[in-house]
Structure 1
Amino acid sequence: MTSAAPVTKPGRKRDHTRDPEILDAAIEVLAENGYDCMTIDQVAARAKAGKATLYRRWPSKAELVIDAVGCLKKDSYENLPDTGTLRGDLLAMMRPPTIEDAQKKIRIMSGVVSMLDRSPELGEALRAAMVEPRAAANRVLMRRAIDRGEIRADCDIEMLAMVSASMVFYRTMIMRQAVDREFLVSIIDEVLLPAVRKTDTEVTDR
């Protein structure tokens, strides 16, 4: 008669309840120090968690950053403004907290530039969390303006939806200048609206 195999006790189940706090701490450290200068020790100290806890959950700094960026709170554009004009809608989306949050996201993006070539996953996480929500909102507002006959029906919505984000990124990353309401309004009035405005002939034919 063969003896029964010894019963193996399952390992202790990992506690993920603190994950949101740790990921928030990772984002704060990333925005302040950039990826290259960021350390697991700094994140653990900010989250008041043990370093071993972080390494059990995220074996590398890169994996922690990808998860943190992927879990960023995405801007909510479910209830888009409807003022009756494209300009009014775009201005209504420019709330002070939105501008501050955009500046923080730019700092995060600048902090991970050195890692993008090594991690396509991070690039996708950045796009999904930081770029696509606002671009999607811009597409909705422009399509709505087309439907009411306010702007050209043949304008390139996909390209124009990315204009403001691209200019904000360039101003912050390359020019090293702050983004304020005045700058954002100038993008609307000097770039977006002229690009979608109907010609005199189109207006006359209505």
Structure 2
Amino acid sequence: MDPQATQPAGARARLGRPRDASRDADILEATIEVLAEQGFDGMTIDMVAARAGAGKATVYRRWPSKADLVIDAVACMKKRDLDPAQLPDTGTLRGDLIALVRAPSAADSDRKMHVMGGILSLMSREPELARTAYAAILQPRIAANRILLERARGRGETRPDIDVDRLAALMPAMSSFRTLAQREPITREFLISLIDDVLLPAAGVVRAVV
């Protein structure tokens, strides 16, 4: 007897229609794009499906709700973390920090902050999403800054008593405020001004006058 014959019709249908995992990455990337543009409340599954070139049913088979889809999409941003082994090492804290704010990096930071803005209304109702957003959007840059600051302190470039954890979070926090409260974009010029006018002075780094 066919083993499937004893199974309910719905179960046989699911077995015969396996999920195409190859589409997941496209759908999650489309979710981030639409979320950054429309926010959670304005985003729809139809928008995501159209952006990904997928059927609406395909999305719903994998993610039963919009909130589930957003949580997974934001979590996937964590995979793009900065590799500690590939962080710049120019010999100065300023040089290292400037190397991290190349134009594509600034654009990525701006996009992440727009994603953060898009999910603010949902984060208050979904504690899991709040933790996921922090880990994916803010934590990677804070971790990179911490490494650069500790390296600079080790070579005597900063004051020995600096609060590394607080300084590492300074630029991501101010970037969040600029996007979420002031509704201004994060540009390379803005990030460099934070480095020169805020972070370096707070760390006790004296820039040479050229």
Please confirm whether the aligned pair reaches a TM-score higher than 0.5, indicating the same fold: yes
Letter in 2 for 1:104: R
Matches within 5 A, 1:75-86: 75-78=81-84, 79-86=86-93
Note the C-alpha offset of 1:68. 0.6
Query: Hey, what does 1:89 align to over in structure 2?
Result: 96
Note the C-alpha offset of 1:182. 2.3
The range that moved more, 168-177 or 98-107, is 168-177
Q: Aligned equivalents of 2:172 and 2:156: distance in 1?
A: 25
Matches within 5 A, 1:1-206: 7-8=6-7, 10=12, 11-12=15-16, 13-72=18-77, 73-78=79-84, 79-197=86-204
- Is the alpha carbon distance of 1:198 and 1:106 closer, same or farther for their aligned partners in structure 2, counting shifts above 3 Å? closer
- The DSSP-based 3-state class of the residue aligned with 1:175 is coil
Note the C-alpha offset of 1:33. 0.6
- Is the alpha carbon distance of 1:198 and 1:15 closer, same or farther for their aligned partners in structure 2, counting shifts above 3 Å? closer
Note the C-alpha offset of 1:105. 0.8
Deviations 1:13-47 (A, max 9, x none): 32222111111111111111100011111111111
Moved over 4 A (4+): none
Q: Aligned equivalents of 1:43 and 1:169: distance in 2?
A: 25
CA contact (8 A) 1:105 1:130 kept: yes
The range that moved more, 156-165 or 182-191, is 182-191
CA contact (8 A) 1:69 1:125 kept: yes
Structure 1: tracts of 5 or more residues without a match: 1-5, 200-206
Deviations 1:166-197 (A, max 9, x none): 11111122122222222212211221111111
Structure 2: tracts of 5 or more residues without a match: none
TM-score normalised to structure 1 length: 0.88
Structure 1 vs Structure 2 CA RMSD: 2.0
Q: Aligned equivalents of 1:92 and 1:140: distance in 2?
A: 14
- The DSSP-based 3-state class of the residue aligned with 1:35 is helix
Q: How many residues are matched?
A: 196
Note the C-alpha offset of 1:106. 1.0
Q: Aligned equivalents of 1:22 and 1:67: distance in 2?
A: 10
Structure index of larger Rg? 1
CA contact (8 A) 1:86 1:141 kept: yes
CA contact (8 A) 2:93 2:152 kept: yes
